[in-house]
């Protein structure tokens, strides 16, 4: 799609400076702007780029003061360039993702129900007893198992697999390769690891976004639960019977073992591990590659290390660790002096 | 499906106390019991819940003594509530997974063979020369490459990909997103990393369960092998030409590099790494986030750290690490005293 | 396929010793050779196996001297057994992977273009506006989103998902389960983590190989870039707006956070983490399970630990760490002696 500068001003408001007929069809950063693209300038550190950028249209703040002529770009002055651009991004995204209709090459069980205005792509499978809400977007090659429930406006990208009996809220987004409801990793010990049937499910509340290639295991009994607003990066592993509280935010390759209960607003950096059967208080922060091995009872702690403890203490200990050779040399020197005194 | 309490007693044996016509259709934990569900009570710590649970039917031990009236639940007394419930779980699971028939929307090569009573779901691909055993369950969107062999009673969940020439035993379970037989990561060094063709395969013996989103690479030449009874959690990476011994048990995000040979009954916790070309003795245990960098020759060692060494020694060293600031302060104090004495 | 020893000699050149009519149909290691297989002997350490190997045909160096009769194998003498076998491997691989034709069960948008001699397998999706080069191989169940461009001779194995607007070069290989172009993990903070639309793309240059189950996120704006010759093992996570330089080589479970720029020929071992917004110099090496938390400005550094620093210093410090209990005992002894002197 192409828009003229004038049409963009019609959508976002603001005042045009320059050629209002210039056409734009893509978005760019101001320092990488190409003809035909639209960009924005909000951070004063980037003002230097406005004069030479090849972007055809740049959204700027009303109060921007120029110290030289702008060579190529038409400007659109608005009260907040950042907000206007965010609005534009969202519109662009909505247009890009505006798939609709049920592909004749999808499989939809005649015992499934699909809400109005749904999109179901090629080679997707909607199994018996599944119930899909309104405006749901199911991309190609997605698998929705028996009796799965999906709330309104949820988008599920190509190839996601959701096992039977799981429940998904509204306004969720799941990225490709993510698996929801696979069996928990539990085997009775003793001679030959006997499989314990995993007959619970996964419940995912509203406004949850899961990155690519995550795996959320079903509960043995009961439910593995992701509360409202949870956001996961790629490769997150959530074991059976875990509960993740509202608005938790886990970076890539975070692993949570079975039956752990995590409070609200907990943040992990990449490659964090959390062992099973813990309670983790609200607002806990775990730094990259750390391993939480004990429950956290005081909200807001920052933890580091494997096993993890207070991050400030960890950093202090690590400074000494780096210098251990020097410390041992000091100790050896002390021993020598003591010996000489004897 | 719905069953009456009387029907459940007919299956499990035991004596009913209460309404034997009450209907149940789901399973629950006693502390989360809902009307229409069946639960069990084996652990005395949970006896407190029996009086108020809303589960419609609770399986209890013969010798349970009640100290108050049970408000809602019908009881079924059996010799072992735990075993009876496990039996019930297994039956429930079997019914849930009892898919059958070959979907007309699957692709089955006319040069493939499929054993009796197989299930092949929609958009699955069974390639030329593949041979599937009896009672095999292939869920939708699975890919079975050329000449792959799958033993009897093996279940492969939606979206698993198995590359050509791999061999899978009987009674295996593979979860969604798992990839078997992708190329090993080997490139000839020198100018431009030249690909070394990976023309071996993967052999998986009987009774192996693989979690979601695992990747088991094919051998360069010969076979990558998972021996009988191996159980993997999610996101396990097994590189080319690795051999994993019988009944090994790897937790999520464990990584094994190329050509390593692992003995029997080896256990890893989450995010463990094992470097290439090692020999790991039977019954070795590696704790979470540890990295094994040397062969283990003595069976039954417990290893910790990165690089890993004896876990008890690691824990002792780690106590001092946490206290390094205090240790350095003691050293500084000693130095000061010595100086003052000079 | 079967070939006689004479036919193999016809392809590779060289002189036959023994039965030139013996038939071979598979490849094996010399120490695991089976009748009907072809093997090679280049490393003198393996010469011992030549006498008893059951391989039917063994490629050996011209100048091999035998100290006993060869029991079973026909020999093919060539100037370099290693090079001849590599050539054979490559031919074998090409035959094995020589799929062609567009399956009538694939979905190819009539607004997509497909180059000559392409293979598109069952249940693959080629979306509107996609452009595929010559000799491209798209295995079953692959998803190619809107406007994706794929260069000549690229092979994409079963189940890979490529989101809209991504660009892939020539001669690339992507393994099953890999996801390209999923949204970056960026949310505006404040009340409720507001999604920031991710409208950039991923650009992958020529000669890139990605292992199984990788995830390469699209840029927020602009492009996430993998330069020419990049090789990734399985489970690699590349966040939004990252740039990975030419010929980088990342082992399994390596994680790179957002906006980091990595130079050429950088190597990581398994489970390495690299935090966001860094610059990493050419030829940097990061050892297994290490975490890079600061930019690297000097090319060729070797880094270890979490957070990582110079590997030699790390190893020295780690020797002391293992011995911390002994060090603390020495300190305690020193304190005791000092006290006694007072």
Domain residue spans of chain A: 3-96, 101-313, 314-342
The per-residue pLDDT for C45 is: 87
pLDDT (tens digit per residue) in C283-329: 999 999 999 999 999 999 999 999 999 999 999 999 999 999 999 99
CATH architecture of C3-96: 3-Layer(aba) Sandwich (3.40)
Q: β-strand C302-305 against C308-310: which pairing, if any?
A: antiparallel
- Cis geometry, peptide bond prior to residue A307 (ω within 30 degrees of 0): yes
B217/C contact by beta carbon, under 8 A: yes
Helix, strand, coil abundance in chain B, percent, nearest 5: 20, 30, 50
Q: Which residues of C touch B237 (CB under 8 A)?
A: 233-235, 252-253, 270
A80/B contact by beta carbon, under 8 A: no
pLDDT (tens digit per residue) in A231-245: 999 999 999 999 999
Mean pLDDT of C19-23: 92
Chain A partners (3+ C-beta pairs within 8 A): B, C
Statement: residue A60 has pLDDT above 70: yes
Q: Which residues of C touch B222 (CB under 8 A)?
A: 28-29, 32
Residue B252: which of B265, B264, B239, B236 has the closest Cα?
B236
Whether the CB-CB separation of C203 and C181 falls below 8 Å is answered with no
Instruction: Supply the Cα-derived Rg of chain C in whole angstroms.
Output: 27
Q: Give me the helices (H) in chain B, please.
A: 5-12, 81-96, 311-322, 324-341
Closest Cα in chain C, distance from residue A114 (Å): 22
Q: How far apart are the first and last CA of chain B?
A: 89
Q: Do B275 and C288 touch (CB under 8 A)?
A: yes
pLDDT (tens digit per residue) in B165-198: 999 999 999 999 999 999 999 887 555 567 778 8
| CA gap A31, A47 in Å, rounded | 10
| CA gap C54, A310 in Å, rounded | 61
Whether the CB-CB separation of C89 and C107 falls below 8 Å is answered with no
Q: Do C217 and A212 touch (CB under 8 A)?
A: yes
Mean pLDDT of B140-151: 97
Residue A158: which of A128, A121, A132, A129 has the closest Cα?
A121
Interface test with A, best of B86, B140, B319 (most A CBs within 10 A): B140
Residue B242 backbone dihedrals phi, psi, to 5 degrees: -75, 150
Cα angle vertex B251, ends B247, B257, to 5°? 85
Q: Do B182 and C173 touch (CB under 8 A)?
A: no
Statement: residue A154 has pLDDT above 60: yes
Residue among B72, B240, B253, B277 flagged as catalytic? B240
Q: Which residues of A touch C215 (CB under 8 A)?
A: 177, 211-213, 234-235
Q: Do B141 and A125 touch (CB under 8 A)?
A: yes
Q: Specify the DSSP class assigned to residue B176.
A: T
- Which of C96, C253, C338 faces B334 most closely, judged by CB atoms? C338
A-proximal residues of B, 269-298, CB under 8 Å: 269-271, 288-289
Mean pLDDT of C41-65: 93
Q: Which residues of C touch A322 (CB under 8 A)?
A: 309, 313, 317
The per-residue pLDDT for A83 is: 87
Mean pLDDT of B2-22: 90
Mean pLDDT of C56-73: 93
Residue A162: which of A201, A198, A219 has the closest Cα?
A201
B40 against A150, higher pLDDT: A150
| CA gap A176, C216 in Å, rounded | 11
C333/B contact by beta carbon, under 8 A: no
The per-residue pLDDT for C189 is: 59
Q: How far apart are the first and last CA of chain A?
A: 89
Mean pLDDT of B117-137: 97
The per-residue pLDDT for B109 is: 97
DSSP-assigned beta bridge partners for residue B279: B261
| CA gap A272, A251 in Å, rounded | 8
Q: Do A207 and C185 touch (CB under 8 A)?
A: no
B321/A contact by beta carbon, under 8 A: yes
Q: Which residues of B touch C326 (CB under 8 A)?
A: none
- Which of B146, B221, B237 faces C29 most closely, judged by CB atoms? B221
For residue C98, give every residue at least 6 positions away whose Cβ sits within 8 Å of its Cβ, in sequence order, or none: none
The per-residue pLDDT for C192 is: 56
B336/C contact by beta carbon, under 8 A: no
The per-residue pLDDT for B339 is: 87
- Which of A32, A177, A211 faces C213 most closely, judged by CB atoms? A177
Whether the CB-CB separation of B252 and B234 falls below 8 Å is answered with yes
Chain B partners (3+ C-beta pairs within 8 A): A, C
Q: Give the residue from chain B lying closest to A327, CA to CA.
A: B328
Query: What HEC string does B98-131 produce?
Result: CCCEECCCCEECCCCEECCCCEECCCCEECCCCE
Mean pLDDT of B113-136: 97
Q: Which residues of B touch A145 (CB under 8 A)?
A: 158
Query: Within 13 Å, how many C-alpha atoms sit on residue C5's CB side?
Result: 24
Q: Do A335 and C334 touch (CB under 8 A)?
A: yes
Closest Cα in chain C, distance from residue A213 (Å): 7
- In the structure encoding, which two tokens stand for residue A199, read together? 């007959």
Percent share of chain B, pLDDT over 90: 80
A221/C contact by beta carbon, under 8 A: no
The per-residue pLDDT for A193 is: 59
The per-residue pLDDT for B342 is: 59
Instruction: Supply the Cα-derived Rg of chain B in whole angstroms.
Output: 27
pLDDT (tens digit per residue) in C255-289: 999 999 999 999 999 999 999 999 999 999 999 99
pLDDT averaged over every residue in chain A: 93
Q: Do A317 and B323 touch (CB under 8 A)?
A: yes
| CA gap C69, A270 in Å, rounded | 59
Mean pLDDT of B11-27: 90
Q: Give the residue from chain C lying closest to B165, CA to CA.
A: C96
The per-residue pLDDT for C91 is: 77
The per-residue pLDDT for A2 is: 75
| CA gap C9, C7 in Å, rounded | 5
pLDDT averaged over every residue in chain C: 93
The per-residue pLDDT for C193 is: 60
Q: Which residues of B touch A328 (CB under 8 A)?
A: none
Residue among A72, A175, A237, A240 flagged as catalytic? A240
Statement: residue C116 has pLDDT above 90: yes
The per-residue pLDDT for B94 is: 73
A-proximal residues of B, 48-77, CB under 8 Å: none
Q: Give the residue from chain B lying closest to C32, CA to CA.
A: B222
User: Which secondary structure element, helix H or strand E, spans residue C195, and what is its range?
Assistant: strand C194-195
Query: Within 13 Å, how many C-alpha atoms sit on residue B59's CB side?
Result: 28
Cα A55 from chain centroid (whole Å):
30
Interface test with A, best of B230, B265, B271 (most A CBs within 10 A): B271
| CA gap B164, B170 in Å, rounded | 18
The per-residue pLDDT for B198 is: 85
Mean pLDDT of B280-305: 98
Q: Give me the helices (H) in C13-159, please.
A: 81-96
A339/C contact by beta carbon, under 8 A: no
pLDDT (tens digit per residue) in A182-223: 999 988 755 555 777 888 899 999 999 999 999 999 998 889
Mean pLDDT of B142-149: 97
Query: Within 13 Å, how many C-alpha atoms sit on residue B310's CB side?
Result: 9
The per-residue pLDDT for C140 is: 98
pLDDT averaged over every residue in chain B: 93
B122/A contact by beta carbon, under 8 A: yes
| CA gap B115, B113 in Å, rounded | 7
- Which of C146, C255, C327 faces A253 most closely, judged by CB atoms? C255
The per-residue pLDDT for C342 is: 59
Q: Do A233 and C289 touch (CB under 8 A)?
A: no
DSSP 3-state of B305: coil
Residue C47 backbone dihedrals phi, psi, to 5 degrees: -60, -35
Closest Cα in chain C, distance from residue B92 (Å): 31
A78/C contact by beta carbon, under 8 A: no
Q: Which residues of C touch B273 (CB under 8 A)?
A: 253, 270-271, 288-289
The per-residue pLDDT for B11 is: 86
Strands laid side by side in the C107-108 sheet:
C107-108, C125-126, C143-144, C161-162, C179-182, C215-217, C237-238, C255-256, C273-274, C291-292
Whether the CB-CB separation of C137 and C155 falls below 8 Å is answered with yes
Whole-number Cα distances in Å, B122 to A126, A142, B99, B104 = 10, 11, 12, 7
Could you check whether A3-96 and A101-313 share the same CATH topology?
no
| CA gap B287, A273 in Å, rounded | 12
DSSP-assigned beta bridge partners for residue B75: B17, B58
Q: Do B309 and C325 touch (CB under 8 A)?
A: no
Query: What HEC string does chain A produce?
Result: CCEEHHHHHHHHCCEEECCCCCEECEECCHHHCCCCEEEEECCHHHHHHHHCCCCCEEEEECCCCCCCCCCCCEEEEECCHHHHHHHHHHHHHHHHCCCCEECCCCEECCCCEECCCCEECCCCEECCCCEECCCCEECCCCEECCCCEECCCCEECCCCEECCCCEECCCCEECCCCEEEECCCCEECCCCCEECCCCCEEEECCCCEECCCCEEECCCCCEEEECCCCEECCCCEECCCCEECCCCEECCCCEECCCCEECCCCEECCCCEECCCCEECCCCEECCCCEECCCECCCCCEEECCCCEEHHHHHHHHHHHHCHHHHHHHHHHHHHHHHHHC
Residue B47: which of B60, B36, B62, B33 has the closest Cα?
B60
- In the structure encoding, which two tokens stand for residue A210, read together? 């899961």
The per-residue pLDDT for C146 is: 95
Mean pLDDT of C121-141: 97
Q: Is C303 exposed, middle or buried (0-12, 13-18, 19+ CB in 10 A)?
A: buried
Instruction: Supply the Cα-derived Rg of chain A in whole angstroms.
Output: 27
Statement: residue B260 has pLDDT above 90: yes
The residue assigned the tokens 């950093």 is A315
Interface test with A, best of C141, C216, C273 (most A CBs within 10 A): C273
For residue C104, give every residue at least 6 positions away whose Cβ sits within 8 Å of its Cβ, in sequence order, or none: none
The per-residue pLDDT for B124 is: 98
Q: Specify the DSSP class assigned to residue C261.
A: E
C129/A contact by beta carbon, under 8 A: no
Q: Is B240 a catalytic residue?
A: yes
pLDDT (tens digit per residue) in C181-203: 999 998 875 555 677 788 889 99
Q: Which residues of A touch B121 (CB under 8 A)?
A: 125
CATH architecture of B101-313: 3 Solenoid (2.160)
A328/C contact by beta carbon, under 8 A: yes
| CA gap C113, C127 in Å, rounded | 10
Strands laid side by side in the B267-268 sheet:
B101-102, B119-120, B137-138, B155-156, B173-174, B209-210, B231-232, B249-250, B267-268, B285-286, B302-304, B309-310
DSSP 3-state of B84: helix
A155/C contact by beta carbon, under 8 A: no
Statement: residue B55 has pLDDT above 90: yes
Q: Specify the DSSP class assigned to residue C333.
A: H
Q: Specify the DSSP class assigned to residue C196.
A: P
């Amino acid at each position: 799609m192409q828009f003229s500068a004038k049409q963009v001003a019609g959508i976002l408001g603001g005042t045009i400076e320059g050629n209002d007929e210039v056409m734009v069809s893509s978005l760019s950063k101001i320092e990488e702007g190409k003809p035909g693209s639209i960009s924005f300038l909000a951070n004063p550190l980037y003002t230097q780029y406005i004069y030479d950028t090849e972007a055809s249209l740049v959204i700027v703040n009303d109060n921007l003061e120029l110290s030289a002529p702008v060579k190529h770009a038409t400007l659109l002055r608005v009260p907040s360039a950042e907000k206007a651009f965010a609005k534009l991004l969202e519109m662009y995204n909505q247009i890009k993702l505006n798939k609709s209709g049920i592909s004749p090459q999808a499989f939809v069980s005649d015992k499934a129900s699909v809400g109005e205005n749904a999109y179901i792509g090629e080679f997707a499978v909607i199994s018996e007893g599944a119930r899909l809400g309104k405006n749901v977007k199911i991309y190609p090659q997605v698998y929705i198992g028996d009796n799965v429930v999906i709330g309104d406006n949820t988008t599920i990208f190509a190839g996601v697999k959701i096992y039977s009996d799981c429940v998904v809220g509204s306004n969720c987004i799941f990225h490709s390769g993510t698996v929801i409801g696979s069996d928990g990793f539990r085997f009775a010990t003793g001679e030959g690891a006997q499989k314990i049937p995993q007959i619970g499910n996964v419940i995912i509340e509203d406004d949850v976004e899961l990155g690519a290639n995550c795996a959320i295991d079903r509960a043995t009994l009961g439910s593995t639960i992701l509360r409202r607003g949870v956001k996961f990066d790629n490769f997150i592993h959530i074991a059976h019977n875990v509960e993740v509280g509202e608005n938790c935010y886990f970076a890539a390759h975070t692993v949570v073992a079975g039956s752990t209960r995590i409070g609200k607003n907990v943040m992990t950096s990449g490659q964090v591990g959390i062992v099973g059967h813990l309670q983790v208080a609200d607002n806990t922060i775990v730094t990259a590659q750390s391993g939480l091995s004990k429950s956290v009872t005081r909200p807001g702690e920052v933890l580091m290390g494997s096993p993890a403890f207070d991050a400030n203490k960890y950093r202090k200990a690590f400074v000494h660790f780096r210098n251990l050779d020097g410390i041992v040399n000091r100790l050896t020197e002390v021993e020598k002096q003591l010996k000489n005194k004897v």
